[in-house]
Chain A
């Protein structure tokens, strides 16, 4: 298990450094910042459905460590041909972003050899959280705002250019000043960064007393739209098949997950997101004893995930999830189900590398179990 951890850490570090080098080269070549994947998804949600790829190492330092890799179909297509990112093709691949497959290997209780391996497929039944998913009403609204910005700018700029028409040098200078102020405002969103004469012309000669309606409101509407996505539902269903190398028996697992976000106070704009998370699975496997019964392991959990902090891009950095779970093995006669209380703390160490730490408390027996996982999400969008 230690060797596996070392290999994974080296892989993650190499991948991180390699991706940093490539990113620096592209930035240098294109002379532009490459956009970071600004996602409205929490770490909790990315465990349900990754954007593109997820590599996870579960139950580190415990028995039965597990390594898994998940990829959406879109992620696989993109790795073969990045032209799928271009809008005309991207639009046709919505289905590919809502289907993912996974492969995994689990170690035995001594973490010395692979006990089972398997794979599966996951499908989104409902995915309203995808910020790349087409929203015609939003696009129409943005088109209106964008056209209004350019029309206002153009009219005001033309008035100033005509004022200086007799002095072409001064005219060129003023246009440069206005050009620079536009870029400054684009970065800061501060109306005071717009050229003063431009602001005066817009107010006094174009009759627009409140410049924020033209220049600030679109940014607010855009942020509001992004925030609204965080609360929308995500519902998935997946099927996995595992093979146990020791018992030679197969396990079929049927699972469904549901996530929906909410905020308690609508008047508090900076309130961090809450998520209601429901999950359930049924695992079917022939028992290893002489009865040859089918073991039916049922699991259900319900809980709340809370974003505790965000970074400067308002991307989730730290999360805490409290949930209760119920487990029952229907193959064992008269055995009651087990209720446990659980807590998962998630920390995003860098970019999309999450470290969830989980504790499970069995109140009936007074046992506490801890689990540590490394989860790296490799996204381009």
Chain B
């Protein structure tokens, strides 16, 4: 098993939240989902090497505030993105 960490940080706002789903299709399907109303760090220590995982996000950060997400650990390349206002993007990462 490999280990991947997802860190989400809200900045410069008190109106914020993000619904995150991490998934991978069958076979060896994977799914994780949670709603965060504040900054968080989530460690995934049950991901499979060589597999690609998708991250669906639906969140908000008002007034020029931002939500900054970093996916690192046993990944082929670190993912780092910043979002504002209302956002529903998707990310993906491949485990080394």
Q: Do A and B come from one complex?
A: yes
Q: Do A35 and B84 form a contact, CB below 8 Å, given A86-B10, A132-B13, A226-B62?
A: yes
Question: Which residues from A are CB-within-8-Å of B10?
Answer: 86-87
Question: Which residues from B are CB-within-8-Å of A168?
Answer: 25, 27
Within 8 A of B (CB), among A147-166: 147, 149-150, 153-154, 161, 165
The reply to whether A172 and B25 form a contact with Cβ atoms under 8 Å apart is yes
Selected contact of A130 from candidates B59, B63, B82, CB within 8 Å: B63
Interface string of B64-91 (1 = CB under 8 A from A): 1110100000000000111111111110
Interface string of A32-64 (1 = CB under 8 A from B): 111111111000000000010000000000000
Selected contact of A88 from candidates B18, B39, B89, CB within 8 Å: B39
The reply to whether B39 and A86 form a contact with Cβ atoms under 8 Å apart is yes
In the complex, A58 Cα to B69 Cα: how many Å? 42
Is A146 in the interface zone, CB < 8 Å from B?
yes
Shortest C-beta distance, B49 to chain A (Å), equals 17
Q: Do A149 and B58 form a contact, CB below 8 Å, given A33-B82, A35-B84, A381-B65?
A: yes
Is A111 in the interface zone, CB < 8 Å from B?
no
Question: Which residues from A are CB-within-8-Å of B90?
Answer: 179, 182-183, 186
Is A139 in the interface zone, CB < 8 Å from B?
yes
The reply to whether A38 and B13 form a contact with Cβ atoms under 8 Å apart is no
Question: Which residues from A are CB-within-8-Å of B63?
Answer: 38-40, 130-132, 381
The reply to whether A134 and B33 form a contact with Cβ atoms under 8 Å apart is no
Interface string of B14-35 (1 = CB under 8 A from A): 1111110101011100000101
Shortest C-beta distance, B4 to chain A (Å), equals 18
Is A171 in the interface zone, CB < 8 Å from B?
yes
Question: Which residues from A are CB-within-8-Å of B54?
Answer: 175, 179
In the complex, A159 Cα to B13 Cα: how many Å? 37
Is A290 in the interface zone, CB < 8 Å from B?
no
Q: Do A179 and B62 form a contact, CB below 8 Å, given A38-B84, A133-B14, A218-B86?
A: no
Q: Which residue of A lies closest to B54 (CB)?
A: A179
Question: Which residues from A are CB-within-8-Å of B68?
Answer: 30, 32
Q: Which residue of A lies closest to B82 (CB)?
A: A32
Question: Which residues from B are CB-within-8-Å of A153?
Answer: 56
Q: What is the number of residues of chain B that contact chain A, defined by CB distance less than 8 Å?
A: 45
The reply to whether B80 and A90 form a contact with Cβ atoms under 8 Å apart is no
Q: Do A149 and B13 form a contact, CB below 8 Å, given A30-B80, A38-B64, A143-B37?
A: no
Q: Which residue of B lies closest to A83 (CB)?
A: B11
The secondary-structure label for the interface of chain B is strand
Selected contact of B86 from candidates A40, A182, A183, A219, CB within 8 Å: A219
Q: Do A132 and B25 form a contact, CB below 8 Å, given A175-B54, A185-B88, A222-B86?
A: no
Q: Do A149 and B25 form a contact, CB below 8 Å, given A90-B13, A131-B64, A139-B15?
A: no
In the complex, A368 Cα to B72 Cα: how many Å? 64
Selected contact of B60 from candidates A130, A171, A222, CB within 8 Å: A222
Is B41 in the interface zone, CB < 8 Å from A?
no
In the complex, A130 Cα to B64 Cα: how many Å? 11
Q: Do A87 and B16 form a contact, CB below 8 Å, given A31-B80, A143-B35?
A: yes
In the complex, A34 Cα to B85 Cα: how many Å? 12
Give 7 nearest A-B pairs by CB, closest first. A131-B63, A35-B84, A381-B12, A381-B64, A37-B64, A134-B14, A146-B58
Extra contacts besides A36-B64, A175-B54 (16): CB < 8 Å: A30-B82, A32-B80, A32-B81, A37-B64, A51-B64, A85-B11, A85-B12, A86-B11, A87-B10, A87-B16, A91-B14, A130-B63, A146-B59, A165-B26, A168-B25, A381-B63
Question: Using a CB–CB distance below 8 Å, which chain B residues touch chain A?
Answer: 9-19, 21, 23, 25-27, 33, 35, 37-39, 52, 54, 56, 58-60, 62-66, 68, 80-90, 92
